[in-house]
Amino acid sequence: MTIDRSSIPPRPVRRVVIAGGGTAGWMAAAAISKVLGQRLDITLIESDEIGTVGVGEATIPTLLNFHSLLEINEQEFMAATQATFKLGISFENWRAVGADYIHSFGMTGVDHWTAGFQHFWHKGRERELAGAYGDYCLELKAAQLNRFAHLPKNGMNYAYHLDASRYARFLRKFAEGYGVRRVEAKIDAVRRDPASGDITALQLDSVSSIEADLFIDCTGFRALLIGQAMGQPYQDWSHWLFADSAIAVQTAATRPAVPYTRSIAHGAGWQWQIPLQERVGNGIVFASTYVDDAAAEATLMANIGGAVLTTPRVIRFKPGQRARTWAGNCVALGLASGFLEPIESTSIHLIQRGIVRLMQMFPTDGIFQTDIDEYNRQTAAEIEHIRDFIILHYHVTERRDTPFWRACASLDLPPSLRQRIDLFADSGRVFRAPNELFAENSWIQVMLGQGIHPRQHHPSADLMGDEELRAFLDNIRGGVERTVAQLPGHQDYVERYCGAPAPPASR
């Protein structure tokens, strides 16, 4: 039920309670305390007895912006979280068994104001003047050769592989330094005002209750506040995204860490491999309708290396989003707000965006329905764009070798995605929606990688003769090759830059 707040007198927000810890809870605590800690009383409630999903170990470059806002030292963060660098994702067996491509974080080539680089590359391929599309992207070529370094003027776009549990502990120390109070307790009940519908307090098992003006739900899939208490329905997207389960396991590292995540498609889903400094995060995402837990686990365990460090555990999920992620005086972040599988490493990004959006609309002098409505509108638009991008990977494929892949190929697509695919297939054109996460080059890399080849290119590319076009393409490719050749190996760079401290010697 939606309450009309126009008749409710606004009440200043001075007390904030974050329900739940983990990555979402401590990211929220860190950001709010860093910016508004002097004006707010911030309490985070979590229980050591309640585990977190904690497998979201791959990130995207937007996390660097979040850390910059919080003034977090990169070397300290990376050492504390066993982090390595990430330049993109290697998609293996997605278009077809045995075929692979990399979705990198970089820009490819040089655009013209009338047309993107893909049009000039397309012309070059027609005239046999161009190499592979990835030859013109620094980050992609560096990933292929396992090289990395920081470059002047932020010349290398990158993200991180990190230990999610260590990251939460790192942020906890940070947030407590800005005055956040942690309460070890379980939430027994949620109290609401019968008139306004707002949450007034959380009943705990360790103390009587904690009151607040604003509550942030980071209770994971349970969604104790936004779902159970506030009654916000869940929009189920499983008719577009069939995967509903995952199995995660950690293994010891047996080889140098590569600067990319591996995403390996299987018969009814896909497997991830995420290299940290001393271990590897592994998992398989699958559709339980097409494969059972035992078979999925067998596939996972047959395709990993190194000593197994943890017991494989099954995680159930439902792809989708809350109808409203801000309701009354409750804002949901992370899994409580919705979930999209980790194929493009967007989970931590969506937490971050929710926090930044809340900070931009923070209800210091009272909660207004206009802020709630705008927050929810922006949140819905952002996750729908990401949803479409994920569906693209499954639907646009040559695979028909299993019932799962045949079902993916026959999907009735969201109109927004169908329009993007048809536009690129017809003309090679891609246009980024306002405030969309994935830029044009991401869509181009994945659509090309999944097997869409545009029928034509922009006429601007035809204005170049063969020699001019050859020189244009060769200059870009040569610049990429020269830069990559000067980069050190990724593993060596990590060890020098942010190697985790060795454990103390035993006596």
Kindly report, residue by residue over 416-470, the tens digit of the pLDDT.
999 999 999 999 999 999 889 999 999 999 999 999 999 999 999 999 999 999 9
pLDDT the model gives residue 5: 64
Structure tokens that stand for 303 in this block: 């395709």
Kindly report, residue by residue over 328-360, the tens digit of the pLDDT.
999 999 999 999 999 999 999 999 999 999 999
Give the integer Cα–Cα distance in Å for 387 and 377: 15
219 pLDDT exceeds 80? yes
287 pLDDT exceeds 70? yes
Instruction: Print burial letters for 305-344: b (CB count within 10 Å at least 16), e (below 16).
Output: eeeeeeebeeeebebbbbbbbbbbbbbbbbbbbbbbbbbb
Q: Where along the chain do the CATH 3.50.50.60 domains lie? A: 12-57+163-237+319-367
86 is catalytic: yes
Query: What is the helix, strand, coil percentage profile of the chain, to 5?
Result: 40, 20, 40
For the segment 126-134, the average pLDDT, to the nearest whole number, is 96
* Mean model confidence pLDDT for the chain: 94
Kindly report, residue by residue over 357-392, the tens digit of the pLDDT.
999 999 999 999 999 999 999 999 999 999 999 999
How far CA 181 is from CA of 20, 367, 379, in Å, comes to 13, 23, 28
Q: 507: pLDDT confidence band, cut at 50, 70 and 90?
A: very low
Out of 203-207, 208-212, 241-245, which region has the weakest mean confidence (pLDDT)?
203-207
Q: 505: pLDDT confidence band, cut at 50, 70 and 90?
A: very low
Give the integer Cα–Cα distance in Å for 227 and 323: 10
Q: 251: pLDDT confidence band, cut at 50, 70 and 90?
A: very high
More reliable by pLDDT, 143 or 504: 143
CA dihedral 419, 420, 422, 425 (to 10 degrees): 170
Kindly report, residue by residue over 50-97, the tens digit of the pLDDT.
655 555 589 999 999 999 999 999 999 999 999 999 999 999 999 999
481 pLDDT exceeds 50? yes
Q: 208: pLDDT confidence band, cut at 50, 70 and 90?
A: confident
Q: 506: pLDDT confidence band, cut at 50, 70 and 90?
A: very low
Listing from the earlier edge strand, what are the strands of the sheet with 320-322?
234-236, 320-322, 338-339
Residue 435, classified by CB atoms within 10 Å of its CB into exposed (0-12), middle (13-18) or buried (19+), is exposed
Question: What is the phi/psi pair of residue 178, to 5°?
Answer: -105, 20
- Gyration radius of the chain's alpha carbons: 24
Give the integer Cα–Cα distance in Å for 29 and 202: 18
pLDDT the model gives residue 6: 65
Kindly report, residue by residue over 168-184, the tens digit of the pLDDT.
999 999 999 999 999 99
Strands 15-19 and 41-46: parallel
How far CA 63 is from CA of 2, 76, 314, 338, 385, in Å, comes to 33, 15, 27, 19, 19
Q: Token match 């329009």: residue?
A: 419
pLDDT the model gives residue 499: 85
Is-contact 318 290, C-beta < 8 A? no
Catalytic residue among 34, 86, 123, 141: 86
Kindly report, residue by residue over 23-38, the tens digit of the pLDDT.
999 999 999 999 999 9
Structure tokens that stand for 444 in this block: 């181009």
CATH superfamily assigned to domain 12-57+163-237+319-367: FAD/NAD(P)-binding domain (3.50.50.60)
Give the integer Cα–Cα distance in Å for 332 and 495: 38
User: Would you say the C-alpha torsion 409, 411, 415, 417 has a positive or negative sign?
Assistant: negative
- Give the angle 291-236-395 at the CA atoms, nearest 5°: 55
